[in-house]
Structure 1
């Protein structure tokens, strides 16, 4: 992806975010925040690496 394409993409994302009403932004933020896995937040990438390793074995 060239620099101009990336800049265009980021500008579109920012404008679409700004166009949302404040209630929608808050709702989206809270949904994103609640979907995080607590173990990953507390212990970093180790739980993810362990689960991946177990799935392969």
Structure 2
């Protein structure tokens, strides 16, 4: 049990160190590559509405 906790701390520490050591230009590129929330959720909202409507229509 203790080893999984130690592995988790080691993994998080490695990720933080890599993030801190990255140059600013790489961080800016990574931030620019993220998908805007509107593109992500406007695909999910119509899907959820259609599922809800089909369930409501059956009743």
TM-score when scaled to structure 2?
Answer: 0.56
Question: Which deviates further from its counterpart, 11-20 or 1-10?
Answer: 1-10
Say how many residue pairs are matched: 47
One of 24, 27, 52 as aligned partner of 2:26? 24
TM-score when scaled to structure 1?
Answer: 0.58
SS at structure 1 position matched to 2:19 = helix
2:45 and 2:6 map into 1 onto residues whose CA distance is: 33
Structure 2: which 5+ runs fail to align? 52-59
Rg larger in structure = 2
How big is the alpha-carbon RMSD for the aligned residues of Structure 1 and Structure 2? 3.3
Q: CA distance change for structure 1 residues 47 and 10 in 2, over 3 Å: closer, same or farther?
A: farther
The corresponding residue for 1:10 is 12
Structure 1: which 5+ runs fail to align? 51-57
